[in-house]
Amino acid sequence: MSSFASRGSDPAAGSAPVSRATSWFQISVGALCMFVPGVLLYGWGAFVESIMQGNGWSNPQVQTAFWIFGIFEACFMWLQGPIVDRWGPRIAMIIAGVLVAFGGYLNSTATTLTMLYTAAAFSGFGASIVTCATIGNAAQWFPDKDRGLAAGVTVMGFALGAGVTILPMVEYIKAHGYRETFLIWGVLMGLALAVLALLMRAPREGEVLRVTKHAITKHQYTSWEMFQTKPFWMLLVMFGSVAATGLLVTSQLGPIMTHYKTHGLTVGTLLGYTFTGFTLALFVDRVANILCRPVFGWLSDIWGRERTMAFAFLFEAIGIFLLFQSVNHPLMFSFLSGLVFLAFGEIYALMPATLTDIYGEKHAATNYGWLYVAKAFGYAWAPISGAMFVAMQDWQWVFYVNATLDILAAVLAFRLIPARREMRYP
């Protein structure tokens, strides 16, 4: 399969243009595939306490598995990018299904930290392939018009997967234990990826027409050329800073609420389901994380990527500060945690859209793979924050560090506009 760069907008050069419905169908399939890494990432917090209690491991020891998952999910996407860019998403997605299923099996049988960490590596690598293939495919089906919205809908699946499964997963852990939950859910997700892979493909030459809506690059930057420009490094710092806040709440929500004695307090009932402080926070976070991705993607198509990101990052800084002020009030804490996710989730829509605007879509999957490495800092923050808590016996400074990182990201988002104007082809 030829690369997308050779697929021009001239119908005579290849296949006839396809309808927008075909493009959106591919985006929908990609969003369904993104359920899987979403469940693997955002569902982790539901397992932490059970793993600690079942094996006698400490919070930093268990959260190191989360960091290892993150290293493999974030730091190796650039290896998969050239394969996806050249051969398309289908084969990659089948491989991802096998890795996810095997990771679930290893997690279910892990009796040592080494086994737990190995399982995290397999699951993380599988999740990385899914993200790489779906984001790269979205960039190719929407080369300019509605790119932010298309990316937002794709990564909405990442949050939606956790949103629709988190409460059933918590209940399944209660009823059957965390080991069986790892096994059953891992195998089912692996099978789902293999089936959905059969529906995915990249656009053929001439199938997608350009409809200019934003000022985007005409040059298709390689990764090496991208490294020589200032905007990439600014985006890298922004990505890592904001990811650290969202992944802190994702990974440490249970331990934080346990420390402040709000984890198991009943806060209300809805449709016959009784919510504790912890389960309500999980539910609110997932809803916020789902909604923010297409909404902010759509807004960025209208307002501009940089302005939208700056607003969201400042919003997250305020949210994380208010969240700490409410740690002793489970109902308020649950809803304020949603504010953090409203701003956190948008990076997965706006970062790939912004990167492709600046550097082109030919190497979209590979280039985004390099930017995605920044997420590893967010994952590393999980065990680091756990160690800070053990040392200080309080989460206060962890929250304050995160608020500072969000403010830094907002400042850089404002500075990205002049940095793009100054950029020249290296």
Is there a contact between 327 and 265 (Cβ–Cβ < 8 Å)? no
Higher confidence at residue 208 or residue 277?
Answer: 277
Q: Maximum distance among all alpha carbons in the chain? A: 67
Q: What is the pTM of this model?
A: 0.75
At 39 the pLDDT is 87
What pLDDT does 226 receive?
93
The stretch 197-217 carries a mean pLDDT of: 69
Q: Is pLDDT larger for residue 51 or for residue 425?
A: 51
Tell me: the pLDDT tens digits for 367-420?
Answer: 888 998 898 888 788 778 888 888 888 888 888 999 999 999 999 999 998 888
pLDDT for residue 56 is more than 60: yes
**pLDDT of amino acid 211:** 52
Locate all alpha helices (DSSP H) within 34-112, ordered by sequence.
35-42, 45-55, 59-74, 77-87, 89-109
Range ranked top by mean pLDDT from 212-226, 278-292, 295-309:
295-309
| pLDDT, tens digit, 9 for 90 and up, residues 148-166 | 888 888 888 887 877 788 7
Percent of the chain with pLDDT over 70: 90
| pLDDT range class, residue 282, cuts 50, 70, 90 | confident
Helix axes 277-303, 330-344, angle to 10 degrees: 30
CB-CB contact of 375 with 70 (8 Å): yes
More confident of the two residues 270 and 282: 282
Confidence grade of residue 2 (pLDDT, cut at 50, 70, 90) = very low
Helices 347-359 and 305-325 cross at an angle (nearest 10°) of 160
Q: Which domains does the chain have, with CATH numbers?
A: 16-206+221-422 (1.20.1250.20)
Average pLDDT over residues 279-307: 84
Per-residue DSSP letter, 5: G
Would the pLDDT of 232 be above 90? Answer: yes
Distance of CA 139 to the CA centre of its chain: 16
User: Residue 365's Cα: distance from chain center in Å?
Assistant: 15
- Residue 115 pLDDT exceeds 90: yes
pLDDT exceeds cutoff 70 at 4: no
Q: Is the pLDDT assigned to residue 130 strictly greater than 50?
A: yes
**What is the distance between the alpha carbons of residues 323 and 346, in angstroms, rounded to a whole number?**
19
- On the CB side of 63, CA atoms within 13 Å amount to 27
Query: Can you point out the beta strands (E) in 221-361?
Result: 266-270, 273-276
pLDDT tier at 212, thresholds 50, 70, 90: low
Flag whether pLDDT at 422 surpasses 70. yes
pLDDT bin (cut points 50, 70, 90) of residue 9 is very low
